[in-house]
Amino acid sequence: MKAERLRKVPLFGGLTDHQYERLERWTDEIDVPTNKHLVNQGAYPHEFMVIESGTAEVTHDGTHLADLGPGDFFGEMALLLNVPRTATVAATSDVTLVVMHDRNFRAMEEEIPVIAERVNAIMEERRAKSADQGIETLGIAFRRATDPQRRAIPSSVSPCGHPS
Ligand code: CMP
């Protein structure tokens, strides 16, 4: 997606020209009609997404967790924690998304850690909120041979991928 549009997304605010060039390469734009599922709970994750325009609803086992709008992102949990999608996100209007494939998300974490920190901070708030609601959203972690440290993040899961 073009840098002039990325600059307007708060998550990507305040970067250098070089960093916007990198983001341009890592992102695509997709338009999605209302009611479409953007991610499905339990599915294997492939992308991280930011809403440029439109709205979406997050549900877990049919229970409403949150409403998302322009500037909000989703899809970070499964990628960062190596678990299946923790919730379903469905468009509640026509939506334009900034989409970043898994491997580009990893590159962004390495090259622009300030964005990764912003994503992490919001993710922790979301996890705390779900926990407050008594909702356990994390499943069993995937094994990711390329990144042994990531496998161990959820505390209830042993490094070999089986419940401890
Ligand atoms: P992921 O698990 O990859 O896919 C479903 C997404 O829903 C998840 O990442 C988060 O981006 C989002 N999500 C899960 N729980 C919440 C919550 N409590 N508030 C807002 N968004 C959430």
User: Can you tell me which atom of ligand 1 is nearest the CA of 135?
Assistant: 18
Go through the chain and tell me how many residues it has.
164
Per-residue confidence (pLDDT) for residue 133, from 0 to 100: 82
The mean per-residue pLDDT over the stretch 30-39 comes to 98
pLDDT digits (tens, 9 = 90+) for 63-109: 999 999 999 999 999 999 999 999 999 999 999 999 999 999 999 99
Residue at token pair 């009611």: 35
* Residues 54, 95 contacting (CB under 8 angstroms): yes
Distance 100 CA to ligand 1 centre (A): 16
The pLDDT value given to residue 134: 83
Element (H, E) at 65: strand 63-68
pTM for the predicted model, two decimal places = 0.87
Q: Yes or no: say if 141 and 153 are a contact pair by the CB < 8 Å rule.
A: yes
Say how far apart CA 138 and CA 80 lie, in whole Å: 12
Quote the pLDDT of residue 163. 45
How far apart CA 43 and CA 149 sit, in angstroms, is 22
Give pLDDT, residue 143.
67
Q: How distant, in Å, are the alpha carbons of 54, 61, 163 from that of 121?
A: 23, 24, 26
Quick: pLDDT tens for 48-68: 999 999 999 999 999 999 999
Ligand 1 pocket residues where CB is under 6 Å: 39, 45, 58, 65-66, 74-78, 85-87, 89, 126, 129-130, 137
Identify the pLDDT of residue 146: 55
For ligand 1, mutation pick of 86, 101, 123, 153 (most atoms within 8 Å of CB): 86
First to last CA, the chain: 42
pLDDT in tens, 98-155: 999 999 999 999 999 999 999 999 999 999 988 888 888 777 777 665 555 554 445 4
For ligand 1, the distance from its centroid to the CA atom of residue 60, given in whole angstroms, is 9
Quote the pLDDT of residue 44.
96
